[in-house]
Amino acid sequence: MNQTVTYLQELTAIPSPTGFTREIADYLVKTIEGFGYEVTRTAKGGVNVTVPGVITDKQRYVTAHVDTLGAIVRAVKPDGRLKLDRIGGFPWNMIEGENCTVHVANTGKTHSGTILVHQTSCHVYKDAGTVERTQDNMEVRLDEKVTNEKETRALGIEVGDFVSFDPRTIVTDTGFIKSRHLDDKVSAAILLNLLRVYKEEQIQLPVTTTFAFSVFEEVGHGANSSIPAEVVEYLAVDMGAMGDDQATDEYTVSICVKDASGPYHYEFRQHLVALAKAQEIPYKLDIYPFYGSDASAAMSAGAEVKHALLGAGIESSHSYERTHLDSVVATEVMVDAYLKSDLVD
């Protein structure tokens, strides 16, 4: 797991809110080409690599997404602070108190800040703890000497500048990984490590497989295009959702049976379950009620494929997330077992 965790730390250190993913795509291209593969960039910014297998007329498509939640400057306020618009689905309270970086398009520079509710001081605002957090009162306090709109705009900051959240990635001695954007950089790290292993150990997969790193999953359309015509199986490697009534935990691989888009392909799911049982991979079956994936986006776009979804169990999704190395291991072993298996009947 050391190399997978290293990839994860490198990935989380690169800001990549949806729509601002060129830097992380460059990282993927450099890393994968370093393994010895030929890489393709899609028109909308994704990174694909096709690994030849024994079977070529029927193929597989395996995805992880590297775009994350984030924000974009909605307005510069009269006091010099920034009003935001969200990128991706999260409640405003999930980012309150978070340090952030403003990526200025006009200058190429960055400016640090903190995301706060306007009524932060409990010594001044009676409703500091109870006021509803909304787009109207959440703001970025810049780490610059600015007190009005003119001074902020003098920094080059304008509407449309992206805002990324500090990931705060920590790996504990007890095996927990705490960070923003484990959704879905854990999965991307897993796919990177498998690509490395397959090349170094000269492993030929039974089925030609495209590894696709998508960059628009958090806004719903993800890897619903650029799917080769030969693809018959589509596996999205994403996060397992945890909470009340959920079976998913931080120590196993979660196999999704249904999300907000509907059920995943039954025979494909059972194929994964059979592999997990045969290889003694700890797993849980689960439903993610308010969730969509690259695979479900592809189905909505009309892809004629069997589709499935699995991933590491992620606690506190879309907030300051956490998982355990046990879940990362189980997920990586599960993806590897699938890629080395026969096609789904």
**CB-based contacts of 268, cutoff 8 Å, min separation 6:** 233, 235, 306, 307, 308, 344
Q: Among this protein's residues, is 217 annotated catalytic?
A: yes
Q: One of 217, 233, 315, 321 is an active-site residue; which one?
A: 217
Residue 221 marked as a ligand binder: no
Residue 35 neighbours by CB distance under 10 Å: 15
Residue 183 marked as a ligand binder: yes
Residue 41 neighbours by CB distance under 10 Å: 15
* Helix pair angle (22-35, 2-12), 10° resolution: 150
Contact 186, 1 (CB under 8 A): no
**CB-based contacts of 130, cutoff 8 Å, min separation 6:** none
Residue 184 marked as a ligand binder: no
* Helix pair angle (325-339, 182-200), 10° resolution: 50
Q: How far is CA 164 from the centre of its chain?
A: 14
Residue 318 marked as a ligand binder: yes
Closest C-alpha among 321, 323, 322 to residue 332: 323
Binding residue ranges: 65, 183, 218, 238, 318
Binding residue ranges for Zn(2+): 65, 183, 218, 238, 318
Q: Catalytic residues, which ones?
A: 217
